[in-house]
Amino acid sequence: MSTTELHVHNPVEDLLRQDRVPTIWCPGCGIGTTVNSFAHALLGQQINLQKTAIVSGIGCSGRVSGYMNLDSFHTTHGRAIPFATGLKLANPELTVIVYSGDGDLTSIGGNHLIHAARRNMDIMVVCVNNMIYAMTGGQAAATTPGASNSTTTPYGAFEPELNMAQLVDAAGACFVARWTAFHVMQLERTMAKALKKKGFRFIEILSPCPTYYQRKNNMGDALAAMVDYKKRSKIKNGCPTWETALEPGGEIVVGEFVDREREDYLTRMRRQLGSHYSEFPPQPEEQESEGCEKEC
């Protein structure tokens, strides 16, 4: 019997900063699962990774940017989108992805989410929705459904929850989708598709938070969450977003809801400005040799 040296190469290894592993995420957390799908989507699409930047806000999902071996920007709470906007405008060659959480993107950063969608800014936003503020210890978020318990709603939440898909659809996003951490293959395909699209793209991923959301609401462990997602999810591509609200215990509508063509910000700007806009090529380098002197 011969022994073979076994080298296990994780296919997405090169896309992760190996020197930053292990992550801060809890066992059973869904964020890492989404990152895996994201990494596969990036690799599968032959995106120029040298020209790809990832921007996050603050929170558990806000740490994604720092684990990706891309140009990574970990900004302030809620402000990943305006940072990404500046980055994209300054260098339109870049593929810019915002990866952050529900609290970060919809609550403190809600205004930016609306306006980036309205502008159809050419960025892709991935929102990991764990329905709670996890990094700070399990407080209620704008996405916390129904009467859920959290540390700031000890008697159950009583604010209605936000439907992100409907919000960004109304604001003008050109691509809106939702999956759960259970739908890894579908998620990868959707991400791949979104990566190739121009304009404001929004992907929501429901993800278990066993440490806070699941535990506080007696929903069992991460595996139980997967079983729950599987049981409750219903794929409805093209579903009107007003029919995609996440009712507690109800159906989880998943799929690609919106996929439309709309002029993105920079394209529209150039069209509108017309001759008022002048390209600005770099100044020609000073000529070092005096060219044709020999010949002339």
Partner 1 sequence: MKADQRCVMTGTHFINGDAACCEGALSAGARFAAGYPITPSTEIVERFAARAPQVGGLFIQMEDELASSIAIQGMVWGGQKSFTVTSGPGYSLMMEHIGLAAISETPCVFVDVQRGGPSTGLPTLPAQGDMMQARFGSHGDYVTIAICPNSPQECYDLTVKCFNLAEKFRVPVMFMMDECVGHMTEKVVIPPAEEIDLYPRRHASKPPGEFQLFEAGEELVPEMAHAGEGYKLYVTGLTHDKRGYPALNPAAQRELVGRLFEKIRRAQDELTMVEAEGLEDADVVVVSYGITSRVAQKAIQAARDKGLKVGKLRLICVWPFPEKLIRELAGKVKALVMPELNMGQVVLELERCAGGQCKVIGVPHPGGTVHKPVEILEAIERGAR
The residues of the shown chain that bind partner 1, judged by CB under 8 A, are: 17, 19-20, 50-51, 53, 55, 66, 69-76, 78-79, 81-91, 93-94, 111-112, 114-115, 269, 273, 276-280, 283
Is 84 or 253 the residue whose CB approaches partner 1 more closely? 84
CB 17 within 8 A of CB 10: no
Is 109 or 208 the residue whose CB approaches partner 1 more closely? 109
User: What is the 3-class SS of 9-73, one letter each residue?
Assistant: CCCCHHHECHHHCCCCCCCCCCHHHHHHHHHHHHHHCCCCHHHEEEEECCCCHHHHHHHECCEEE
Is 77 or 215 the residue whose CB approaches partner 1 more closely? 77
Is 218 or 287 the residue whose CB approaches partner 1 more closely? 287
* Shortest distance, position 52 Cβ to partner 1, whole Å: 8
* Shortest distance, position 275 Cβ to partner 1, whole Å: 10
* Shortest distance, position 251 Cβ to partner 1, whole Å: 34
Is 235 or 269 the residue whose CB approaches partner 1 more closely? 269
What is the maximum alpha-carbon separation in the chain? Answer: 90
* Shortest distance, position 54 Cβ to partner 1, whole Å: 10
**Residue 23 and residue 188: Cα distance in Å, rounded?**
21
Is 26 or 266 the residue whose CB approaches partner 1 more closely? 266
* Shortest distance, position 108 Cβ to partner 1, whole Å: 9
Is 7 or 276 the residue whose CB approaches partner 1 more closely? 276
**Residue 164 and residue 186: Cα distance in Å, rounded?**
19
Is 114 or 165 the residue whose CB approaches partner 1 more closely? 114
* Shortest distance, position 257 Cβ to partner 1, whole Å: 24
What separation, in Å, do the N-terminal and C-terminal C-alpha atoms of the chain show?
77
- Length of the chain, in residues: 296
* Shortest distance, position 66 Cβ to partner 1, whole Å: 6
* Shortest distance, position 79 Cβ to partner 1, whole Å: 5
Report strand pairing: 124-129 vs 175-180: unpaired
CB 166 within 8 A of CB 242: yes
